[in-house]
Chains A and B, each alone.
Chain A
Amino acid sequence: MTVDRRDFLKYSALAVAATTGMPGFLARAAAQAATTPGTAGKTLVVIQLTGGNDGLNTLVPYSNGAYYAARPNIAIPKKDVLTLTPDLGMHPSLKPLMGLWDSGHLAWVENVGYPNPNRSHFASMAIWHTADPTQAQAEGWIGRVAEKIGDPFCASNIGGTTPQALRASDFSLPSIDSVSSFQVRLPAGLDGAFEQLLNLPRQGEADYLSRATRQMVLNTQKVQANVAKYRPGAKYPEGRFGTHLQDAARLIAAGTGQRVLYVSLNGFDTHAGQRADQDELLATLASGLAAFQADLETQGLADRVIVMGFSEFGRRVAENGSAGTDHGQGSVMFALGKGVKGGVHGDSPDLENLENGDIRYKQDFRGVYAGALTRWLGLDAQGILRGDFAGPEWVA
């Protein structure tokens, strides 16, 4: 986390204002953050599959007759499955990830969910974002990570608007849509006036906007101080998801200091014609992640980054009448990277013992989060998740 000293002084008035205007924890030095030795400089990349990814067609129980019976039109035929174990295999679109599987750096966590599942996209997404199935919390779990670490730039969303997961009680962690354009370019002669403008005393939402703008100025400086050093180490697929993953790699390579980065891929709400849509989305996911991992290898950073992926819910076991699936409960999570213990963690769902047509989840997702928080980021998972949640040892 290095900021060019001259740049910092140039904006010192803004810097002071940003610190004094921020809630108490932000004024604390980031260096004081209590982290376990050996976890410094490590980054967690969270991948959100928005819309409810169908877990059963992602990690396919190809030896299970009940799976094929429930899905006469959309099941993945056994011959197409990428075999992982005698019972499970991956959707063929995930082929770019086979190399990671073979080298032991791809993990699947089976049968993940939470108590009293909610089939609403938004309620369920909020539960994953706040890590609170009672929906009493408004802050996101990564927002609480930022409060814990005491640094308003320790996590970022790559994208346009900040998801709830990255909101703290009194501010949002930044969203960076494009690293190259992430800089302030003031028209000539307005530096002083701009500073004055942001330092006027304000209240309510006006105060929120001016604080957010001051923080943005600082964030852009941190990013721009270092990103020029990055040279791409892999060819990323075209499209928004690939571009965002490359920006994530760029920020990590530049050493901008984020402990958590967040990237989303949208479109998994496959109520109709699921095969065409999900096949394409999983291909986008896999080709992007494979490029990201290759890039990190080239940068010499592969042992400092892990990826953890989730979706707000899985889908009904039985297909619906439109060759799609409706909202269900429970799904799979995935993780990849050199710091990940490869393999399938947890038991597969029993497809013949369903709850209203849905699988019965066995692993609380907060137990999976806890692994990343404790074992990868060296943080107090219990404090952040507000409870003690057990999970598989998917972090090596």
Chain B
Amino acid sequence: MPLPPLSRKLTAEDAAHFLRRTAFGATDAGIRDLVGQGAREVARAALAFGDERAPGNPFNPAEAATPFAGVQLTRAAWLFELLYSPQPLRELLALTWSNHFVVATDKVRNVPVLAGYLNLLRRHAATTDFARFALEVAQSPAMLRYLDADQNRKGRPNENFSRELLELFTTGIGPYTERDVQEGARALTGWTFRGGRGNQKFLEDSEFFFISGQHDGGRKTYLGQSGNLRGEDVVRIAATHPATATFVSRKLHRAFVADTPDEGAVAASAETWRRTNGNVRAVLEELLASEHFYSRRAAIIRGPVAFTVAAVRTLGGPRLDTRQILNLAQTAGRMGQFLLEPDTVKGWDGGREWVGDTALLLRMQLAASLTVGNTAPKLEILPSDLALLGTQRSPLAGVTGGLNPKQRLYLSLISPEFGLA
């Protein structure tokens, strides 16, 4: 059974909900555009993004003088795109995938390799072919480097990528054994990349490269399939395994519906996934137009990056100078989310894990700097309570009533209501 669609035309609160979930926050103009439309066409239009970028990005990682600066500029350039991209859903999906197919800059510090990885996530943000997406990630120099797949040779296996492919990228724990991890590693031998190795060559590009002499061409059995399997076979078998549909659908539900997803609804998405052979675009279109999506309000705790981007976008996307944007990237990191640097290959768990004393304090500082601080941006239009909090009747009315506009914005941004999507 597919997820039942929302039957009504979008109300103002529905529109605010959709934008708070899919565009890092709502604006009053954005809400007006969607009111009265059908949920399916709204979802379809939001997913029909191309590769256009935010104009005037001041950060160019290719000009970095050191690997460290390259990482900083890559992070800032991405944050600029998150803040100002005309396609926020594409960027939100790229962020979601970067927390699924994790690579991290403690190990991957090559500028073109990171750029290639991010562009891959954008290109496949709403992929119609998950198995192809998984293969392209697996063969990206970023992933080859991050999980040591380039070190995996015939007779000298390195299991790192083979294990995470199953545990974190496709089926999740359960459907496989240690033996599958070992056999997968054998099949994946011979994959490497050339170019861009070492600290000195951080501006030189890398490309995937297969060394047949280091490939173990023998017979393997992997997730029940036997043969002289190659790396491509192993990635395809894992990515098209029925359990993958459920495991990755659950992550999409966590990104768009609730920190604690409803397993029945996840199963419905997984069924669509399997029926369409891993067409993530179809799964997302159904999900984002569903009654279920519109009924779960205030169920996602905004993470540091989502909170930061939501604050700026809800305030109408005021221009910030380069130093402010670099600071925002650092602040999100101190709240627990440095872009492209999760603590582990599992990525961030999200939900209540984002809520800690330090993160809450930093949210208050960030809100102050965007509203009441000396360097707070000048706003052309003040957002309504609906855009800020998602409801037409503000639960904060009694608190913010007597305050000046900047104070009202500050308190709204630090409220639990704004902290949720």
Contacts and interface: CB of A to CB of B under 8 A. Distances in A.
B304 to A, nearest CB: 9
B357 A175 contact: yes
A209 B419 contact: yes
A322 B173 contact: no
Interface in A257-296: 266-267, 269, 271-272
10 closest Cβ pairs, A-B complex? A321-B156, A322-B151, A209-B416, A175-B356, A177-B358, A161-B336, A160-B336, A174-B357, A216-B357, A206-B416
B340 to A, nearest CB: 15
A193 B355 contact: no
Contacts of A210: 416
B136 interface: no
Contacts of B298: 204-206
Given A172-B355, A187-B407, A321-B151, A122 B344 contact: yes
Most buried by B among A50, A272, A324: A272
Given A206-B416, A266-B343, A321-B156, A162 B173 contact: no
A214 to B, nearest CB: 10
Interface in B335-368: 335-336, 343-346, 352-361, 364-365, 368
Given A320-B156, A327-B163, A193 B411 contact: yes
A243 interface: no
Contact of A209 (B160, B343, B355, B398): B355
Contact of B353 (A162, A186, A194, A320): A162
Contacts of A267: 106
Contacts of A272: 148, 151, 158
Interface in A149-207: 157, 160-162, 167, 172, 174-178, 181-187, 189-190, 193-194, 196-197, 200, 202, 204-207
26 contacts: A119-B178, A121-B344, A157-B356, A161-B354, A162-B353, A172-B352, A172-B356, A182-B361, A185-B368, A186-B364, A187-B407, A193-B400, A204-B298, A205-B259, A205-B352, A206-B417, A208-B352, A209-B420, A212-B356, A213-B360, A213-B416, A215-B357, A220-B357, A321-B153, A321-B157, A322-B152
B155 interface: yes
Contact of B346 (A122, A184, A326): A122
A12 interface: no
A51 B356 contact: no
A200 B336 contact: no
Given A175-B357, A177-B358, A219-B357, A320 B407 contact: no
Contacts of A64: none
A167 B349 CA distance: 14
B204 to A, nearest CB: 20
Interface string B378-421: 00000000000000000110111001000100110011110110
A63 interface: no
B173 A120 contact: yes
Contacts of B344: 50-51, 121-122, 266
A186 to B, nearest CB: 8
A193 B406 CA distance: 13
A200 B396 contact: yes
Contacts of A320: 151, 156-159
B121 interface: no
Nearest to A125: B344
Interface residues on A, range: 35 or more
Contacts of A212: 355-356, 360
B372 interface: yes
A178 B157 CA distance: 42
A178 B411 contact: no
A356 interface: yes
A390 interface: no
Contact of A161 (B259, B359, B361): B359
A156 B353 CA distance: 14
A186 B372 CA distance: 11
A16 interface: no
A181 to B, nearest CB: 7
B357 A190 contact: no
B354 A190 contact: no
Given A119-B163, A162-B356, A212-B355, A190 B158 contact: no
Contact of A205 (B153, B359, B420): B420
Contacts of A181: 358, 361
B119 to A, nearest CB: 26
A207 B407 CA distance: 22
A322 B301 CA distance: 41
B167 interface: yes
Given A206-B298, A219-B357, A322-B158, 10 more contacts: A119-B178, A122-B167, A122-B346, A177-B358, A185-B365, A186-B364, A189-B407, A197-B411, A205-B420, A208-B355
A248 to B, nearest CB: 15
B275 interface: no
B8 interface: no
A123 interface: yes
Taking each of A157, A196, A267, A320, which has the highest tally of chain B beta carbons within 10 Å of its own beta carbon? A320
